[in-house]
Structure 1
């Protein structure tokens, strides 16, 4: 049995989230709100009723309200991602849900394939998973600036920004977990700040600061932080001096397999060759076979 990697210190993550809740900074949940709104729009396009649904991970209340407005849902429950001796676990009974949703929680799990497999088992046939998680482009400017400053002043850099999910891997992870009709796409949001320090305040208010297990126990010194802010401005500022911060939102969806779902054609079963279809379309368009 493969050992689950320990990428994130989830105990520290819980403490950071509690601190963020106590801060209650107005507007600090803008990223969660944006992701929840996007998920709600996707759910509304499905146009069906879900008798039993679950929110996987934290919710400020926005996601539950968004779901209620997007689709008719019977029972809705909240399920925490719990830490166990062999990895994260979800307190979900097999085949107990028609819908599972998650916003900005799955990027913090150490065993994403395992959590996706648990969600798949909890879905009834033709049940739906919709989730949004932070993608690999998230905070790329911050990663670049802090790494450069720490390398310059310490002669080496430790990981400070999490290795978020790559969209190119998500479809494969969904298939590996047993989902049918997997879809993954991405949306990039660029937020402008007065400085690196303003961005850092927002990250603290989100409970999204460094919780990597391999983090350097030494805090950034004032000199390194100041140099990182200088590099950030040099490399990632607009003409007005404000700096850019990229947030990539990766949206994924997958269905629990069911006989009613469309099936791909078997190789070699097509009724027409691709070359013949292209030639026919060209003749129809121009009347003379030219494109």
Structure 2
């Protein structure tokens, strides 16, 4: 399989974000509440849960619901502070024990994985029979205006372009990925969430603080001139005197058999 993402770079970005995570915690918590709200739609009882990459937004909420929680992350620091029993994921071969969890919640932690179908298969195998997967990830259209602005600014300033925003899956493919991974009753839906910034540099700071710095293998390794970001950010659309970007939050649900 072609490699798109740099796993080691992603791990380092998340590790470095650990002490800054409090800056972005309210956003992660709000998004986690939207994901975990799906639990209110089922009468199933869950006792054991895997928090897969939730960065402190998932494990406390699941423990408040009475579950025993293991918190897995590629970053040892994030795993340790996520709120559950820590488990470090050392590679894209997750090494999860089979049929261990009633519930797996993967909150914005799968979009840097090269083999997404393989990752979903691993998560399904870690579920007990009739276990539930809840996953959130950015879908195609997320940060679309930022992607375009960066490409335009870089071409204007340097005559070349490089990938600076991760490629995201199309929502139409998400339910199909769940089905291919062997999940029953696969469902994928999307919610557009708009963020407004008085200072667009705050967007870049929040992405850094969340551990979402560029980990695309084909990214430029050259020094990025500050003018590139200033030019690109100034070109973002505005609403009510604020710079606007959109997160297309895809929510995936599927059951193990």
**CA displacement 1:84-112 (0-9 Å, x = unmatched):** 4xxx1223222222211110101111111
Match of 1:151, SS state, is: helix
- The answer as to whether partners of 1:195 and 1:229 remain within 8 angstroms in 2 is no
What is the match of residue 80 of structure 2? none
2:230 maps to 1:229: no
Q: CA deviation at 1:244?
A: 0.2
Count of residues in correspondence between the two structures: 243
Distance 2:17 2:72 in 1: 20
* CA root-mean-square deviation: 1.8
2:44 maps to 1:48: yes
What is the match of residue 9 of structure 1? 6
Within-5 A mapping of 1:110-189: 110-189=114-193
Question: In structure 2, which of residues 69, 72, 87 is the aligned counterpart of residue 76 of structure 1?
Answer: 69
- The answer as to whether partners of 2:186 and 2:254 remain within 8 angstroms in 1 is yes
Distance 2:21 2:105 in 1: 24
TM-score (norm 2): 0.87
- Where do 5+ consecutive residues of structure 2 fail to align? 75-88
Distance 2:227 2:47 in 1: 56
**CA displacement 1:195-242 (0-9 Å, x = unmatched):** 33121111111111211111011132123223213322xxx11252x2
- Where do 5+ consecutive residues of structure 1 fail to align? 258-291
- The answer as to whether partners of 1:32 and 1:104 remain within 8 angstroms in 2 is no
Distance 2:3 2:256 in 1: 28
What is the match of residue 84 of structure 2? none
Q: CA deviation at 1:72?
A: 4.4
Match of 2:47, SS state, is: strand
**CA displacement 1:129-168 (0-9 Å, x = unmatched):** 1111111221112111111101112222110000022211
Alpha carbons of structure 1 residues 95 and 239: separation in structure 2 relative to 1, 3 Å: closer
- The answer as to whether partners of 1:150 and 1:157 remain within 8 angstroms in 2 is yes
Distance 2:107 2:179 in 1: 20
Match of 2:157, SS state, is: helix
Within-5 A mapping of 1:25-104: 25-26=22-23, 28-60=24-56, 62-69=57-64, 71-73=65-67, 75-81=68-74, 82-84=89-91, 88-104=92-108
Larger Rg: 1
Q: CA deviation at 1:45?
A: 2.0
- The answer as to whether partners of 1:138 and 1:247 remain within 8 angstroms in 2 is yes
